[in-house]
Chains A and B, each alone.
Chain A
Amino acid sequence: MAIDENVEAIKGAAEGITYPILIDAEHLLTETYAISNVPTVIWIDEHNNIVQPNWSAFGTDTFVEFTGVESGPQKDLVRRWVTHNEPMMEPAAAAEAVHDLTHEEEQARLYFRIAAKLRRDGDEDGAERNFATAVEFAPHDWTIRRAAMPLRGKDPFGEDFMTMYGEWQEAGSPYHGVPSVRTR
């Protein structure tokens, strides 16, 4: 699921992929699954039980130099779950792994949604006002602050990203779920 409204960019990344790719332009899943960054991976079994809740895991090694997190170990764990039904976490631990959204994080999601709609409707001032409100509510939430960057004319891989990254680390690298572990 792309937490993104840039369908053309997603289409570019989706070439040759045969599994379903869904577009969550309204960030609905960031609300119902408390997702606060990408990539976030969730395992759901045959009976709709969440076996592995929100987990910061990479499918490729594109960013390994920056993150230090390799994709191999997590893909091995997925394979073990698929072939041997082995979960990564005990259910009791899984049920404690994701903190609920705060009131501020809920508000941030709603103001982001208002801003994105105003932007699509051509009201740039209104969009900027509401993006700014959303970021004030949740300055360390990547699905808010970084996702808004390209919609506010900022580079999500540039200076604004590095500023946010520094502030996020200073705040203790908050993440709704199981954080990734550096493997090198």
Chain B
Amino acid sequence: MSNTIDTALLAGGPLLPKADLGPVLGWQLKPEGLCQGDICVPVHDMAALCPDDNTVDLLAVAGLVDRPAAVDETTGLVAIGAPRASRRSAINDLQAPEFTLPDLDGSLASLSDFAGKKKLLVAFSSW
């Protein structure tokens, strides 16, 4: 999924209006912390997260919700990775994380479409 938003890079950190945080990451800044639905992550260092009243640092937000992030300063392109918890669920708890990908015709398919069946995942490539 990719989103285009107005942002400013300050010392390599992408700053964006607080109001854009929800549409981009699905998290919102509330008095109780950074929230997605009923789940809130407490914010201990508000100054690092919000340089001023109206903006948030996207990389700081990613860090708080335990997602890796990277920024190409030349183009302002930011990549935010999947929650690390989903990978830990795979490799430590042996619980297969859900995913949704397009098939060769562009129709979306998910792991959960095959619930109740044994699944053999094969990662392959042309390279």
**Residues in chain A within 8 A of chain B (CB atoms):** 1-4, 6-7, 9-11, 13-14, 20-24, 28-35, 38-46, 48-51, 53, 59, 78, 81-82, 91, 94-95, 97-101, 103, 106-107, 109-111, 113-114, 117-118, 123, 126, 129-130, 146-147, 149-150, 156
Contacts and interface: CB of A to CB of B under 8 A. Distances in A.
Contacts of B95: 48-50
A39 B87 contact: no
Question: What 7 pairs across the A-B complex have the smallest Cβ distances?
Answer: A110-B70, A9-B126, A110-B79, A22-B101, A156-B127, A106-B68, A98-B91
A37 B94 CA distance: 19
Interface string B108-127: 01010001111111111111
A13 B88 CA distance: 32
B86 interface: yes
Given A29-B99, A45-B118, 5 more contacts: A4-B124, A31-B82, A94-B94, A95-B91, A100-B91
A44 B125 contact: no
B53 interface: no
A34 B127 contact: no
A150 B126 CA distance: 9
